[in-house]
Structure 1
């Protein structure tokens, strides 16, 4: 958890709230408004190593020498990270090159902006010039959150590519409490906050201890700060889950109905090369942690289901409805509070009605303490119970797959789907 503060007073609140990185910024001076170097030095002295400190350079023009001089000035204060805004410009590569000598001795974080058409092809350039990390923020505060400009299906690609280059990766941009469970499954190294820490007063007001506490409780704490993430965020996305919750509480059913997306799907040749409308209906049985839910700490967000579907669909062509349903079910069951999920996948353009599949999957030994099991583990007996027939009444089925599909990458998933179906 990165918390942006204006100086010593707010830094004290942030530290008391258990934030991982204290970020110095002047929210009244723009998206990356810088505080004075004197404020930086006094705040660093006050923090005295209790948490890493980052500081922004300000909303500067993309001029290599201007940015180099300012970054050197801020690094000299002793901050652990120097954040550099990379606004759209043909000079970004030149700026990164000019900063390479500084990057050899100070951790530099490049900041791209989701609302300014960020160019993720710059990631290798930052890595080449020895930057420590890259984060995405928003430039125009009040004109939408991160997810309004960078849809969930694009985030895994950004996070994975950044990490593959050995760079730290962060997400920020007017984030609110409901955004946290949606972003944790993408496993960023940190999430950044300012406005959400100010309650309902706006990002230029002072942060409050209560708001900091609420955000902190939604984010799994790191065992060590300032380094690469060592947490499986997918298993901890439901921050409120605890095996010690009241066993008398039952489950809630969270559902998404009539969720229609264009999907590249189908085994037939005529289904390749274009999308067709697919309707998703998903219902998840989720362990309660309280019978008095008050905020995002107490609920399982239906946004997690919709974001997961969008992300899966964005990966490309899927041969079978069954394979798509299985992937959605596995995604939902990654959350430790989910004990059972039903997924219905329905193609809407192959005839006068819908065609598709409905599956039900549950966590092994689903029950009040089931969430300690392996995420996504399935018990097929929930759906595929063999009929009690005499041996002589059992039917056999032959399924013919065209020779051109013999080496298809999806062959294993097809066979698995056939093996579990009621062909008789």
Structure 2
């Protein structure tokens, strides 16, 4: 299992944009994303795209190779059965992640998680960068607590930790975890060489407060979409606007709140 890459090791906060198909790739790139993420928002927080879409993006990458990292959501751990064959993934994929909802009552969730990781890597003959996923609304999602997920991420030498929200009905990351809780998780993760990504219905108005705790990556879907509806199509201008605000807040944070 690979642990880090330069994309997760930059001095500025990077922007991850989640797209659902081949058609959304170009507006995401033109808008200024640093990491291109694939997921199907209609299938949940980390819904996996279907086999047809996987094939379509594989064809895209064969003719238009990217110079930025690509990540893929694999759904929830509980979506996978022990007998389910691992999919063949596009060679362009670098980062993989899966959610841990409905695992709170699974005493052996860690070994099941690791077994699935090994199965996917064996099938694809690739050592991926794995991103552990903690849900800020973990109690409602019947998931492992963020602290326990971070502990597992450190133990498994994951590349990073994503803190997201499982439910997407009107509340965002900051409605579930206090800033000091997020800051403590970030500090602990970074002290162990992990990178932290924050997501969960984040909007431009959240960037000022989030920049103060120095995450490595901010991930968006709804903020990139028309009308901020995560199941609608993404818009290049919405991503550009978010990118501009993110860069401005990063500069302000590094300069102590002022420039010059």
Separation in 2, partners of 1:43, 1:180: 31
Pair 1:79 & 2:101 matched:
no
Separation in 1, partners of 2:154, 2:133: 13
Q: Deviations 1:193-223 (Å, cap 9, x if unpaired)?
A: 00111132511100111211111111239xx
1:193-212 matches, within 5 Å, as 193-200=220-227, 202-212=229-239
What is the Cα deviation at residue 119 of structure 1?
3.4
Partner of 1:114: 136
Pair 1:150 & 2:198 matched:
no
Unmatched segments (≥5 aa) in structure 2: 1-14, 140-144
- Within the candidate set 40, 46, 54, 2:71 is matched to 54
Task: Give the SS at the match of 1:4.
Answer: strand
Separation in 2, partners of 1:119, 1:4: 22
Give the count of matched residue pairs.
230
What TM-score results when the alignment is normalised by the length of structure 2?
0.79
Partner of 1:124: 151
Change (3 A) 1:193 1:10: same
Task: Give the SS at the match of 2:168.
Answer: coil
- Within the candidate set 217, 236, 256, 2:252 is matched to 236
Contact 2:54/2:90, CA 8 A, preserved across alignment: no
Separation in 2, partners of 1:41, 1:2: 22
What is the Cα deviation at residue 92 of structure 1?
3.0
What TM-score results when the alignment is normalised by the length of structure 1?
0.50
Structure 1 residues 131-140 or 44-53, which shifts more?
Answer: 44-53
Task: Give the SS at the match of 1:19.
Answer: coil
- Within the candidate set 42, 48, 73, 2:56 is matched to 42
1:1-400 matches, within 5 Å, as 1-44=15-58, 45-46=60-61, 47-61=64-78, 65=82, 72-73=86-87, 75=89, 77-87=91-101, 88-89=103-104, 90=106, 91-99=108-116, 101=118, 102=121, 105-117=127-139, 118-200=145-227, 202-220=229-247, 233=250, 235-237=251-253, 334-336=256-258, 371-372=259-260
Unmatched segments (≥5 aa) in structure 1: 222-231, 239-332, 337-370, 373-424
What is the Cα deviation at residue 173 of structure 1?
0.2
Partner of 2:4: none
Structure 1 residues 112-121 or 17-26, which shifts more?
Answer: 112-121
What is the Cα deviation at residue 81 of structure 1?
0.7
Q: CA-atom RMSD, angstroms?
A: 2.6
Separation in 2, partners of 1:51, 1:6: 17
Change (3 A) 1:208 1:112: same
What is the Cα deviation at residue 55 of structure 1?
0.8
Q: Deviations 1:104-147 (Å, cap 9, x if unpaired)?
A: 81111111111114331332322222321110111110141000
- If asked which structure has higher relative contact order (CA below 8 Å, sep 6+), I would say 2
